[in-house]
Amino acid sequence: MQQPKNESVRNYAPQDTETKSVKKALSQMAQEKIEIPLFIGGKEIRTGKTKKVVMPHDRQKVLAEFHQAGPAEMEQAVQASHQAKKEWERLDGATRAAVFLKAADLIAGEYRDVLNAATMLGQSKNIFQAEIDAACELIDFLRFNAYFYQEIQKDQPLSVPGLKNSLEYRALEGFVFAITPFNFTAIAGNLPAAPALIGNTVVWKPSDTQMLSAYYTYRIFEKAGLPAGVINMIGAEGPEAGATLLPHRDLAGVHFTGSTGTFQTIFKTIGSNISNYRSYPRIVGETGGKDFIFAHASADVDVLVTAIVRGAFEYQGQKCSAASRVYIPQNLWPSVKEKLIEQVKTIKVGDVQDFSNFMNAVIDERSYKKITGFIKEARASSDAEIIVGGNFSDEVGYLLIQQ
């Protein structure tokens, strides 16, 4: 297998065929309301306990209702992963990789519009943010994972004449618990797929606010030939899922992206139950940070201002890489301030189906209240100044608006 190339990003110019195609998918999906079951052992399970998936930028619009797992269904998912594991890990690496390479091809082709549209409507990403995430980055994850897994397997110990040494890269003993975030469809797809590639079986709990694109991601894996029970997708309340699955005797690993507080709770729970496990669970986690821009006195003002605007406001700042603070030399500040205000005032905010909107809605009411609370605090502070923006409205959606 040759090293893959990064998936090309589409431009979505107004009259492009690709633009018309994704707009058609958006229009159709926006008018639908689907039911999302649990996927356990390849079967669709409906518990009757449901939760709504709404458009963040039009919070009255319900896109889907997903069923939530209780402890019994979570145990069922663990058992399904156990039953699937023997046959799955017995397959050679190339056969397992072929499933995910096929999934990448499906996303690059017939499912590109579907996954982009689901990400746009369900997570309030504009077309350009959705394209680099739901399409390109997930395709790259799947293809590069397969390639580098192949390269890892080539790393073998030295042998001498008459003696052959070999190293087998085995799956973990038990199930992997993948807990995924709302802000990247690609990460949500990669966290269960990467451990599955090397022979593990997975219980996957997507974020409630990413459930629509998670549903289509699972369907793509299924269409690509993923055997029943290899990845079991469950909607669930986070604390209940943690209380049931993290202390489980068969927990072999956790693959997580999310908040620092949640990851610390996961780490603490596993540590306090360490004597109960069949093996030592591997814990892999990525958490949020406070990214910054540090400008030198010689910085190009135009480049700096563009970096600030894009770093801070792309996808409403809901990325671990989003710029949350900027350190600017005093000699540059007057010109930076003037151009920054000028650029920010041009930002359009609103519905994702209007491709001229640079910003859309923040993900949910909790995030909206947290962010607007900071704005109110700055407004009331004696040592802070709002130089541009500072307006918001949740009348239609969770929007930080321009006036």
Residue 31 has a pLDDT of: 96
Exactly one of 286, 314, 377, 385 is catalytic; which is it?
286
Give the H/E segment covering residue 208. none
Residue 274 has a pLDDT of: 97
Residue 68 DSSP one-character state: B
Residue 289 has a pLDDT of: 78
Whole-angstrom CA distances from 27 to 24, 57, 269, 318 are 5, 15, 44, 25
Residue 403 has a pLDDT of: 54
- Look up the CATH number of domain 17-156+169-287: 3.40.605.10
The 3-class secondary structure across 111-160, one letter per residue, is CHHHHHHHHHHHHCCCHHHHHHHHHHHHHHHHHHHHHHHHHHHCCCCCCE
Q: What letter represents residue 120's amino acid?
A: M
The alpha helices in 224-300, defined as continuous H runs, are: 238-245, 260-272
Give the model confidence (pLDDT) of 384-399 as tens digits.
999 999 999 999 999 9
SS3 57: coil
Residue 86 half-sphere exposure, CB side, CA atoms within 13 Å? 4
Residue 401 has a pLDDT of: 80
Q: For the chain, where do the domains classified as CATH 3.40.605.10 start and end? A: 17-156+169-287
Q: Which residues contact 308 (CB under 8 A, 6 or more apart)?
A: 293, 323, 326, 336, 340
Number of Cβ within 10 Å of residue 60's Cβ equals 8
Q: For the chain, where do the domains classified as CATH 3.40.309.10 start and end? A: 291-380
State which CATH number among 3.30.390.10, 3.40.50.720, 3.30.530.20, 3.40.309.10 fits the domain covering 291-380.
Answer: 3.40.309.10
Token pair, residue 324, equals 């949350």
**Could you say which residues of the chain have pLDDT below 50?**
none
136 in catalytic set: no
Cβ contact 396:57 at 8 Å: yes
73 in catalytic set: no
Strand-strand pairing, 43-45 and 201-205: unpaired
Residue 188 has a pLDDT of: 98
Q: Which residues contact 36 (CB under 8 A, 6 or more apart)?
A: 53, 64, 65, 66, 67, 211, 212, 215, 235
Token pair, residue 110, equals 């017939």
d(CA 357, CA 373): 24
Residue 1 has a pLDDT of: 86
Exactly one of 320, 338, 342, 365 is catalytic; which is it?
320
Residue 320 has a pLDDT of: 86
Beta bridge partners of 349: 359
Residue 8 DSSP one-character state: P
Give the model confidence (pLDDT) of 44-64 as tens digits.
999 999 999 999 999 999 999
Closest CA to 317 of 261, 374, 260: 374
- Helical axes 93-108 vs 138-153, angle rounded to 10°: 160
